[in-house]
Amino acid sequence: MLTLLLSIVGAAMTILIAPNNKTWPIIVAASSFNLLLGASWVTSANPNSNLSWGMLIDNLNSPLISLSLWLIPVALLANISHLQNNSKSENRNFILLVLTILIFLIITFSSNSFIGLFLGFEGTLIPTLYLITRWGAQQERIEAGLYFVFYTLISSLPLFISLIYIYSANHHLSINLSSVNALGNISNASALFCMIAFLVKVPIFSLHLWLPKAHVEAPVAGSMILAAVLLKMGGYGFIRLTSLFYFPFNNLINTILIPFCCWGGLLTGLICLTQSDLKSLIAYSSVSHMSFMIAGISVLTSWAFAGGMVVMIAHGVVSSALFCLANTFYERTNTRTLIVSRGIKTMFTILPLLWLVFAAANMGIPPLPNAVGETFIISAIVAHNIVNFLPTFLGVTVTAVFSLTIYQLLNSGANIKWNTNISILTEREHKTLILHLLPLIVLIISPEIIAP
């Protein structure tokens, strides 16, 4: 793990002093080396190991680290066209900022202590805020940044206070999934304060208001990173948390959180049907998926944890691909309005097929990996309490409806006259979309590599 962090830091320092024409070769070389390390952890026969410097590698965090190492370079590749009008120093700053986010992500996922997890969790705040407010396209980016900071800081303060209290009571904050209730039988209040910070980051319904604003105003790389990996910090922290605080969480989760997330996921899906902005629709779709994912994890069974992990990884790939697809059309029309952005099947050959594949993945059609994770989660939720069947069934139905609505609106109908002279997909865009397809193919063949 230290080798991985040093590799990223070394790449960042090399970019500072390297000529401008060597920036992308450095990123490609560093990304390839880091991916080899990540792949070795995922495919390892015994990945559970405590590393030096207070770090941990196991079946839970190694897929998330590999996802970060794969998709963040892809996000940089997708954002190249937006950097062409900037100065070379600004482009270099953008790349360094994204690499900084990657470093904090790895610290968050690999830390063997809740303090390290908290520091990495909060370390992504300033780089992400700067990414939104500096490289966002519209004036509303400042408001989006304020929402992002407000929700994150307000929820993180109770988490920090609770960690101090837990440390004073247990004299350690070690992460240990091998024993249930490893940090002692703490109060419901402390467990709740810890939980809120992760639920805001996921986010679930009612704690999600910052996410659509951040997605809409962020550059394409920011939206891809936010949807693919930054949101997964909340799910990862929630899994770690529930495994350690089982008993105080039990009644709270059974009576409140699971049904709330199920109905919240359904309501967010209905909100998706009212959206006219493509990026906003994809953002609300993420809230719906993550709400059901949290409901599934809250059942606190190995079946539910496995389903939650599959959903997080698959959703990270699919949501990033959807934002990338939305950006390909936005670059040509300067609009994200669904009513205007139609008739792409008359202008492109491969793009409608890609929209179909990722829309199908978003709704969880077999054999795509989303279907596996959602089957696990739905089974766990319904087996836990049959009352939750209705919102879960309706939520899955609504997800299919708005996913098909995206595909139908974008592909059917005659294109607007001023859309007729649109350039075909570039080689860069083909590579970016193919790099999103490859993880899905791997997960179809071997879904067990991401089940904890």
Question: pLDDT value at position 177?
Answer: 47
Nearest Cα to Cα of residue 129 among 210, 71, 13: 210
- Answer whether residue 74 is part of any domain: no
430 lies in some domain:
yes
Q: What is the pLDDT, as a whole number, of residue 41?
A: 60
Q: Answer yes or no: is 428 within a domain.
A: yes
Decide if 98 is inside a domain.
no
What pLDDT is recorded for position 399? 93
Q: Write down the pLDDT at residue 43.
A: 57
**Which residues have CB under 8 Å from 410's CB, separation 6+?**
329, 338, 341, 342, 344, 352, 355
Amino acid at 41: W
* Residues ≥6 apart with Cβ < 8 Å to 350: 425, 430
| Residue bearing tokens 């997605």 | 215
Mean pLDDT by 10 residues, the chain (452 residues): 72 72 71 69 55 73 89 87 73 86 90 88 90 83 90 88 82 62 62 86 90 89 91 90 65 80 94 90 94 91 89 94 89 79 74 90 90 92 91 93 88 61 78 91 83 60
Tokens of 164: 């101090």
| pLDDT for the residue numbered 20 | 66
Q: What is the residue range of 356's domain?
A: 245-452
CA 189 to chain centre: 28
pLDDT value, residue 167: 81
User: What is the pLDDT, as a whole number, of residue 293?
Assistant: 94
Which helix (H) or strand (E) is 56 found in, with range?
strand 55-57
What is the model's pLDDT at position 337? 81
Helical spans, DSSP H, in 171-209: 188-201
For residue 279, tell me if it sits in a domain. Answer: yes
In a domain, 249, yes or no: yes
DSSP secondary structure string for all residues of 356-407: HHHHHHHHT-TTSHHHHHHHHHHHHHHHH-GGGHHHHHHHHHHHHHHHHHHH
Report yes or no on 144 lying in a domain.
Answer: no
382 lies in some domain? yes
Domain count, the chain: 1
pTM for the model stands at: 0.91
